[in-house]
Amino acid sequence: MLPENYINRKDMLACVLCKDPPCTKACKKMDPGKALFDIWFDNADIAALNLPENNVCAKCDAHCEDACISSRRVPIQRLMSTLHKVVAPEAEIDVPEDYKRLQCDICGIPIENPFLLSSSVVASTYDMCARAFEAGWAGACFKTICSFDIHEASPRFSAITGDNGSIVGFKNIEQLSDHSVAENMEIFRRLKERYPKKFILASIMGQDEDEWESLARLCEENGADAIELNFSCPNMQEDGLGSDIGQIPELVEKYTAAAKRGANIPVLAKLTPNVATMSPAAEAAFRGGADGIAAINTIKSIIGVSPYTFVSAPAVKGKSAIGGYSGNAVKPIALRFISEIGQNPMLKGIHISGMGGIETWRDALEFILMGAGSIQITTAVMQYGYRIIDELKDGLNYYLNQMGINSVKDIIGAGLDSVSDTTDVLERDSVLFPRFESEKCIGCGRCVISCNDGGHQAISFENRKPKLDGSKCVGCHLCLLVCPQNAIVPSKKRINRAT
């Protein structure tokens, strides 16, 4: 049994985040489906503050739980009561009424918030982009436009999932837009006519300098606000395209310069993570005239491909291929490359459009602190839909207000000074011990097992309670990570090592 004051995504893993949630239809006094969605996307404070003033769940018959379609009953009544009793009283501010703090720009062009769809299937038709714009996305990077034939495989997606079925890592072998150039230009014109304040970022891929130049020119003439050069797609059938270009700085510079000759609007180079360092390609793009860098694209990968496995992913008549890996699992890798660009003095002032594993507003905040001035998202949209924009905007706006920050632009790159590319800068003469919170501990012993077999044998198990041996503990914090109850936290002060 979880403690009464414990609440986050772990506590609602049985929830399937329904469309038109039956729990909401069953409740006459509040919107439990929206509150659950808030909790899932790290907005428990906002969920609590949007509840009715009185705890309407206290003496309720929990018809919302009876209506739940999940195979496991979601503890909606307890979660809503916890939001009301514990989370709401601890909230520091009210939910802000306006979103002015989210206003920013891409290369000087204003956008209403930092969030754009990234170049992919989620931004591949007029209708899809229109629905995203109506939902509140500031813009979209349209699926990459090219002049060569595209023939997709089926199936072309696969994933590594968590215990509740949610996607942790996502693999695709999808290629570029299968619309003609003329069809895509028509979509741009229609979008710009109907949504003049939304940002249209046109992703393009050419086969030679003339094509990079002409595609850039066409996109500008038909309403694009900026151009994104796809130097990074890992799924191309032919050599010399996509990520093959992004790995060769000379080609990055040459094709960036070609696109700049074709267009007067800003040009961003989208770079591949399939390199040791991204700076050589980023500097080459800058020399070619790029106004910004977009990163990262997907990472070359294989998931479960073997003639001896029952499911190869994705398998097309028993065969698969190396494809692009995305999803929340790649976020640490993406942040590493974003920080590298952000710390590069030769790229000072260049716009960075960050992407790679972003699901929540807190994920987006990490990219902004590492230097990203705009955020692009695909995989989370594929999993949860355009509706996540409310969670992204609400969470980031609440954080900025809570911290007294007037504009999201004020924190771009604010975390770069805390990051080093070497561990030599780390202090190594003290230990931060773990602390066990007995009221949360259920006596599972997971911390003991992990410390014994993967750590330093510093935790004993007495009467189903863990006990720390400070003479053995090195403060690695493995126990914090494996505890299913969040019952282990860092101590409040460091202890100097014995010399």
Question: What distance in Å separates the CA atoms of residue 374 and residue 124, rounded to the nearest whole number?
Answer: 20
Among 371, 376, 381, which Cα is nearest to 336's? 371
H or E segment and range at residue 281: helix 279-287
Among 144, 160, 96, 110, which Cα is nearest to 406's? 96
H or E segment and range at residue 255: helix 249-262
Could you tell me which residues are beta bridge partners of residue 158? 171
Question: What distance in Å separates the CA atoms of residue 425 and residue 304, rounded to the nearest whole number?
Answer: 39
> What's the gap between Cα 131 and its chain centre?
20
**All residues at 6 or more sequence positions from 380 whose CB lies less than 8 Å from its CB, including other chains:** 328, 358, 359, 388
| Given the residues 146, 233, 441, 447, the one annotated as active site | 233
DSSP 162-230: -TTS-EEEEEE---S--S-HHHHHHHHHHHHHH-TTSEEEEEE--SSHHHHHHHHHHHHHTT-SEEEEE
Q: Is the peptide bond before 314 cis (omega within 30 degrees of 0)?
A: yes
Whether residue 233 lies in the annotated active site: yes
Contacts by 46-54, CB closer than 8 A, 24 or more apart: 46/95, 46/394, 46/395, 46/398, 47/83, 47/87, 48/83, 48/84, 48/87, 48/88, 48/91, 49/88, 49/91, 49/94, 49/95, 50/95, 51/80, 51/83, 51/84, 51/88
> What's the gap between Cα 341 and its chain centre?
18
Amino acid (1-letter code) at residue 169: G
Tokens of 469: 């041996």
Tokens of 344: 């590069």
Tokens of 158: 């696969």
**Do residues 352 and 271 touch, judged by C-beta distance below 8 A?**
no
Dihedral sign for Cα 114, 119, 124, 125, please: positive
Counted residue by residue, the chain has a size of: 499
Question: What distance in Å separates the CA atoms of residue 205 and residue 287, rounded to the nearest whole number?
Answer: 19
**Do residues 204 and 180 touch, judged by C-beta distance below 8 A?**
no
Active site residue ranges: 233
